[in-house]
């Protein structure tokens, strides 16, 4: 939804990016709380039913203990699932003072970069796609 809105109205790109960051941070915090509150009662049994072993969970917990903020940050700027990473951060007890800055900074970088790209190149990208689509028709 973000990309078409920026391409349609490039002047609103900074404001749209701010709203996108706010929404992504709110969603990430909710996912963190889900992991922190429901992992033992819901998450662990579901993962066990899906074949995830206790050794896998211990390994993942160790990764979050050593590199938790970095895992969250990488997920926020990459195509990896930020929501699943936020749930895992809550489930494995990543402290909020490490979690929140990684989430906010990562999402701010991602949406700022997308807003700039789409604001200045979106129309050209959209026109190129339209030309390709006309060639097929």
130 inside domain:
no
133 inside domain:
no
Element (H, E) at 112: helix 96-136
57 pLDDT higher than 70: yes
pLDDT, position 2: 80
pLDDT, position 121: 80
What's the rounded mean pLDDT across residues 41-60?
91
Number of domains in the chain: 1
Evaluate if pTM is beyond 0.95: no
pLDDT, position 29: 98
3 inside domain:
no
132 inside domain:
no
Instruction: Work out the mean pLDDT of the chain and round it to a whole number.
Output: 89
22 inside domain:
yes
pLDDT, position 126: 61
pLDDT, position 127: 61
137 pLDDT higher than 60: no
Residue 7 to residues 3, 43, 122, 124: CA-CA distances in angstroms? 6, 39, 5, 10
131 inside domain:
no
94 inside domain:
yes
pLDDT, position 136: 62
Residue 48 CB neighbour total at 10 angstroms? 12
9 inside domain:
no
pLDDT, position 94: 96
Domain span including residue 104: 14-121
């Amino acid at each position: 939804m973000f990309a078409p809105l920026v391409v349609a109205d490039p002047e609103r790109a900074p404001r749209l990016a701010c709203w996108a960051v706010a929404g992504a941070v709110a969603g990430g915090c909710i996912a963190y709380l889900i992991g922190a509150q429901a992992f033992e009662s819901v998450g662990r049994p579901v993962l066990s039913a899906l074949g995830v072993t206790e050794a896998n969970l211990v390994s993942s917990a160790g990764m979050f203990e050593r590199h938790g903020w970095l895992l969250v940050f990488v997920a926020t700027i990459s195509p990896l699932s930020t929501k699943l990473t936020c749930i895992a951060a809550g489930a494995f007890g990543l402290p909020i003072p490490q979690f929140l800055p990684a989430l906010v900074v990562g999402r701010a970088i991602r949406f700022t970069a997308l807003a700039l790209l789409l604001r200045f190149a979106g129309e050209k990208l959209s026109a190129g796609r339209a030309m390709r689509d006309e060639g097929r028709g």
